[in-house]
Chains A and B, each alone.
Chain A
Amino acid sequence: MNDSLILICRCEDVTLEEIKEAFNQGFKDIESLRRHLNIGTGPCQGKTCIPLLEKTLAQLSGKNEIETISTRPPESPVPFGAFIKRGKK
C-alpha cells in the first residue's frame, strides 16, 4: 500500500509518507518529529499514533528501543468550566 495513504495520526492528518520524509530531512528523534509534524498533538493526545510512530521510528532507525514522548495532563480533554470551583472567587 502507498505510504501516502497510510494515516498514522488521525487528529492531525499525518501519513506514513510524511514521517519518512521528515526522518530523511533530519528529524530523527520522537520529540522533534512530533513538533515538526504535529503528530500526537491533537485531542486524542497521541494515544493511537504515538505507538505507531515509535514502531515506525524503530524500523527507520534500526534501533530496538525508542524513547517515548513526555506525557502531559490532562489525560483526556476537560472543559475549562469543569476546573472552576463553585463559590470560590
Chain B
Amino acid sequence: MKSFDVVIIGGGITGLSTAYYLNKMGVKNVLIIEKNYLGSGSTGRCGTGIRQQFTTKEHIVLMRESVKLWKEWENSLQHPIHFKQGGYLWLLRNNEELKQYKDYVKTQNLLGVQSQIISKEEVKEIVPEINIDDIVGASWCSTDGNAYPFEVIDALKFFVESKGTTIRTFEEVKSIKLKNGLIQSVITDKDIYYTSFLVNGAGAGAKKIAQMAGINLPVQNFRHQIAVSEPLEDFLNPMVVKGELYFTQTHRGRIIGGTDMEEGPSENLNSNINFLEKYAREVVDTLPTLSSVKIMRQWAGFYVVSPDHHPILGSQEIPNLIMGCGYSGHGFMLGPIVGKLLAGYIKNGNFFLEEANHLTVERFKTGKLIHEKTVIG
C-alpha cells in the first residue's frame, strides 16, 4: 500500500504527457500504471501525424497550442523525438471538396492557423512525384507535421523518471474504490494505491476503467490498420492526405500510412490483406513511383471514438476522476496540449483554454456536441 498525489492509468502519450506537466508544475508524487509496456496501445500504433487542419474551433485551437508544445518538446527534451514540420498536403479531388476546404481554411486562418488553398501546380512544387491528374488543388499547412511515437515515449519516460514519477509496467488495474463520492484507491493485480486524483488515460481501455468507477463513457473502439515500407532515402516531407488515405515518410525513411476500411466498432486488432489491397491501390494512384517499393510490415490500432469525434477531458460526477480519452484518432497529436490541460486542471481546478471546457463528458447529457468533419484513416 502506497499513497500518491496523482495516479495515472495508461502509459501512453496521455499519461506520460500529464505526468510531464505535473512534474513541471511541482507535483512529483505521481504514479503511472500501464498494463503492458509503455506505448503498447494506440500511441505506439499510430500514424505519427500532427495537424492543425481541423474544422471546429475546439480542435483547431487545441492543435494550434499543441504544435507550440511539440516545438518546445523538440527543443527541450534531451532524448530526440524527431518532431518535424513537413506540412500536411490535403489533396482535393473535385470542386465540391475544394469549396468545403476553402471554408475550413477560412476558419483555420481566423483562429491563427496559417493554412491555405493551393493549385495543383503548387502541389507539384511541394512533392514532384504526386499524380495531379485527378485533383483540383490542395489544402496546405506548412506548420503541420509528425513525430516518432516511440522516441516521444522514451523522451517523456526519461524526463518524468528523473523528476521522481513512478512507472509500473505489466501491472493491470482490477478495481477502483470510492469513498463519499470520490476516488480513494486503485487496486491492481500487484498492489493497492491510495490517491488524491485519478487520471483515466487508458486509451482503448478507458471505457472499462470508467466503468470500474461506475461511469458510462460514450466511446467505442474502432480498428484502423497501418503499414510501413522498407526504408528509402528522404524524399517526402509532408503528410499526404487524399480522401481516406494518408501517408508520410518517417525520420527512419519508411513510408507509413493507412486508409479507412469503414468497419464497425470492434475489439479485434488483427491485420488483413484487404487493407493492403486498398491501401496499395490508393497509394500508387497518388504517388505512382511507390509501386516498386516494398511494404515491410502492417498492424492495427484503435481509434477510441466519441459521438462527436472530440476528446473527453476533465471530470464530471466524480470530481477527482479526470478523463483524458476518446480522441477519435487524434490522441498522439493532441498529447502535449492534453497533458498540459489535465495537469493544470488537477493543480488549479480549471482549464487554461476556454475551448477545453466544451470537451467534458457533460456535453453528451446537454446535447452540446461539436462535430468534426475531417477524420481520416
Contacts and interface: CB of A to CB of B under 8 A. Distances in A.
B280 interface: yes
B352 interface: no
B290 interface: yes
A54 interface: no
Judged by DSSP, the binding face of A is: loop
A36 B154 contact: yes
Contact residues on A (Cβ < 8 Å of other chain), bracket: 20 to 34
Interface stretch (B35-43, B59-67, B92-100): B35-43
B170 interface: yes
B291 A79 contact: yes
B124 interface: no
B271 A73 contact: yes
B38 to A, nearest CB: 7
B284 A80 contact: yes
Given A31-B40, A32-B37, A72-B297, A83 B276 contact: yes
A45 B228 CA distance: 12
Interface in B26-68: 36-40, 44
B368 interface: no
Nearest to A41: B297
B40 to A, nearest CB: 7
A68 to B, nearest CB: 14
A79 B290 CA distance: 8
A24 B276 CA distance: 39
B297 A80 contact: no
B280 A29 contact: no
Contacts of A83: 273, 276-277, 279-281, 295
A11 to B, nearest CB: 9
Contact residues on B (Cβ < 8 Å of other chain), bracket: 20 to 34
A87 to B, nearest CB: 12
Contacts of B366: none
Contacts of A88: 281
B230 A43 contact: yes
B347 interface: no
Interface string A64-86: 00000000111001111111110
Given A35-B150, A38-B252, A84-B281, A79 B37 contact: no
A53 to B, nearest CB: 15
Contacts of B37: 29, 31-32, 35
B298 A72 contact: yes
A83 B277 CA distance: 5
B296 interface: yes
Contacts of A32: 37-38, 169
A45 B299 CA distance: 13
B295 A80 contact: yes
A84 B284 contact: yes
Given A43-B230, A80-B290, A35 B39 contact: yes
B283 interface: yes
Contacts of A35: 37, 39, 44, 150, 153
A79 B252 contact: no
A45 to B, nearest CB: 7
Nearest to B289: A80
Interface in A16-39: 29, 31-32, 35-36, 38
Contact of A85 (B36, B44, B277, B296): B277
B162 interface: no
Nearest to A32: B37
A74 B276 CA distance: 10
Interface string A34-68: 01101001110100000000000000000000000
9 contacts: A72-B271, A73-B273, A74-B298, A77-B296, A80-B280, A80-B291, A81-B284, A81-B291, A83-B279
Given A35-B150, A79-B292, A80-B292, 19 more contacts: A31-B36, A31-B37, A32-B37, A32-B38, A41-B297, A42-B231, A43-B231, A43-B294, A72-B271, A72-B299, A73-B271, A74-B276, A77-B229, A77-B295, A78-B294, A80-B291, A83-B281, A84-B281, A84-B291
Q: Which 3 A-B pairs have the closest CB atoms?
A: A77-B294, A83-B280, A81-B291
